[in-house]
Amino acid sequence: MDHKDSVSIRVFSLNCWGVRYLSKHCSQRYAMIGDMLLQEEHDVVLLQEVWSEKDYLFLRKKLASSHVHAHYFKSGVIGSGLAIFSKHRIQDTLLYRYSLNGYPYMAHHGDWFGGKAVGLAILNIGTLTANFYLTHLHAEYCRERDAYLPHRVVQAWELQQFIRHTSAGADVVVLGGDLNMHPQDLGNRLLTSYTQLRDAYAETDNFDGCEDGLTLILENPFISQKVIAPFEKGIRIDYILFKGSCKADIQCVSMHTTKGSIPGQAFPYSDHEALTAEFTLAPSEAGGDFRSSNRVCALGDVARLVDILTEARTEVKVGVHCAERMRYTAARMAAMGLALLLLELAIAAVPWLTLGAEQAFPLNTFYLLVALCLAILLCTSLLYVFYTMELKSLQGTEDQMRLSVGGLQEKLRALPRAQPTEGVKPGNMFCAEE
């Protein structure tokens, strides 16, 4: 691509691990990140886990000359952690909060308080409109028994929906962030199949970084052996994804990641590796209708999408089942609390009604039990409300997935039978509808 109007841009993405007072060397690392960004002058910088607005403002000040435009996406209790710095004017922004994001009582995991979301910033680069998406999905704390998998699948579903529905007017689309999903994980397949976003690591011939593009590696001194142990060398969960349109071509010229240490520095920027991708953008010579590129699908692609959707629906259904069970438990606990309260009141009322009879119930125990019952009632009521909301979100996603499967099956029936199905078992294509 050597179009005369072509533009070259460099995009940077990093999960900053910016939990004040808890993350190691937090302020020193922010100073290092600021220095590096000021020097490197990437066109667009996508940061995650900038949990404190003070740290964002520190970077904003530091990068005032190199990255004139910036936006911090506020959400949840401690912020979404998402920040974008840009050399190009940010025309517009939009934030979409994921409907599910862990549980508030899992405070040690902390995801719920972060109000995880996807941020969109619309930039004009040359003559092109570029949609930059920035996100951070719910963490995976235990791969074998991942209680958050349904939540992450819902987040991946909402992410692909949000990108698809908001990018019709964009000439190029770039998504950067910590997806907390391995390359072949269900959510990742859902995201890339639906949006047709391409992985910068897989698309470039010029990669310099960790083996297999890993972004969480044992060589990083902030990573504990325990986290990486099940995965041999490390995992790849941070990505820069991209796509063009019929109006513009985009190609990933090169990509590199840090490798666990920074030459001349005592420690790396973060516990995650930093990603930098260089793209070439050029107005497309073909032209035509952008939307059509999303619509024309081969039979094999559609069938594969149906398979992925079926798998995702199964996972969401597991989530529905769990939420129903938890809600039922909360309701049962509330009922027990109420029954205990009524029983106590009844026992206490007996001597009061039969005047003169001695109060058999020690008053201290009585007060303690009443307080306990009220505490149980309050907590279980809050949990009941929370699980009901979780259930509604899961069921809503399942409904949307069913609708999508229906549409895809309609498409499958309409597509000419002659097209090759590329190894997809025909029997699987129609197994998703209930």
Restricted to residues 273-332, the positions that interact with a copy of itself (CB under 8 A) are: 291
Q: Which residues pair with 125 in a beta bridge?
A: 128
Which residue do the tokens 């040690």 mark? 108
User: In this chain, which stretch among 4-12, 138-146, 161-169, 261-269 interacts with a copy of itself, using CB under 8 A?
Assistant: 161-169
By CB under 8 A, residue 76 contacts a copy of itself: yes
Query: Interface with a copy of itself by CB under 8 A: which range of 34-42, 68-76, 298-306, 333-341?
Result: 68-76
Nearest approach in angstroms of CB 254 to a copy of itself is 31
Other C-beta atoms closer than 10 Å to the C-beta of 131 total 22
CB-based contacts of 361, cutoff 8 Å, min separation 6: 344, 347, 348, 351
Helix (H, G, I), strand (E, B) or coil at 434: coil
Interacting residue with a copy of itself among 18, 79, 176, 319 (CB under 8 A) = 79
Nearest to 136 by CA among 88, 92, 84: 84
Least distance CB 303 / a copy of itself (angstroms):
19
Residue 64 binding a copy of itself, by CB under 8 A: no
State how far Cα 295 lies from the chain centre: 25
One-letter amino acid of 152: R
Based on the shown chain and the rule CB under 8 A, indicate whether residue 378 belongs to the binding site for a copy of itself: yes
Q: Which of 384, 290, 294 is nearest to 337 (CA)?
A: 384
- 374 touching a copy of itself, by CB under 8 A: yes
Q: Which two tokens stand for residue 338?
A: 């109420």
Q: Does position 165 bind a copy of itself by CB under 8 A? A: yes
Residue 323 and residue 315: Cα distance in Å, rounded?
12
Distance CA 185, CA 188 (A): 5
Cα 184 to chain centroid, rounded: 16
Candidate residues 5, 35, 40, 92; the one interacting with a copy of itself per rule CB under 8 A: 92
Q: Determine, following the binding rule CB under 8 A, whether residue 74 of this chain makes contact with a copy of itself.
A: yes
Question: In terms of CB distance, is 95 or 227 closer to a copy of itself?
Answer: 95
The answer for residues whose C-beta is within 8 angstroms of residue 382's C-beta and 6 or more apart is none
Phi-psi region of 84 (alpha: psi -120 to 50; beta: other; left: phi over 0): beta
Applying CB under 8 A, the span of 9-17, 206-214, 332-340, 377-385 interacting with a copy of itself comes to 377-385
- Asked if residues 196 and 294 have their Cβ atoms less than 8 Å apart, the reply is yes
**Binding-residue total with a copy of itself (CB under 8 A):** 53
Site string for a copy of itself, 116-145 (x = CB under 8 A): ----x--------x----------------
151 part of the active site: no
Interface of this chain with a copy of itself, residues 380 to 419, rule: CB under 8 A: 382, 385, 388-389, 392-393, 395-396, 399-400, 403-404, 407, 410
How far, in Å, CA of 280 to CA of 278, rounded?
7
Q: Does 433 bind a copy of itself (CB under 8 A)?
A: no
**Options 70-78, 236-244, 345-353, 418-426: segment touching a copy of itself (CB under 8 A):** 70-78
Sheet holding 238-243, edge to edge: 90-97, 117-125, 128-136, 172-178, 238-243, 198-199
Query: Which of 10, 25, 60, 97 contacts a copy of itself by CB under 8 A?
Result: 97
Q: Determine the distance from the C-alpha atom of residue 100 to the mean position of all C-alpha atoms in its chain, rounded to a whole number.
A: 10
Q: Out of 42, 67, 138, 272, pick the active-site residue.
A: 272
Closest approach of a copy of itself to the CB of residue 212, in Å = 35
Question: Helical H runs in 117-254?
Answer: 149-166, 186-195, 200-203, 225-228
Count the helix, strand and coil residues of the chain and give each as a percent rounded to the nearest 5: 45, 20, 35
Among 39, 184, 225, 364, indicate the residue that binds a copy of itself (CB under 8 A): 364
Q: Counting contacts by CB under 8 A, is residue 226 touching a copy of itself?
A: no
The only residue of 353, 363, 414, 418 in contact with a copy of itself, by rule CB under 8 A: 363
List of residues contacting a copy of itself (CB under 8 A): 71-77, 79, 89-97, 99, 104, 113, 115, 120, 129, 161-162, 165-166, 168-169, 291, 363-364, 367-368, 370-371, 374-375, 378, 382, 385, 388-389, 392-393, 395-396, 399-400, 403-404, 407, 410
Q: Which residues are catalytic?
A: 272
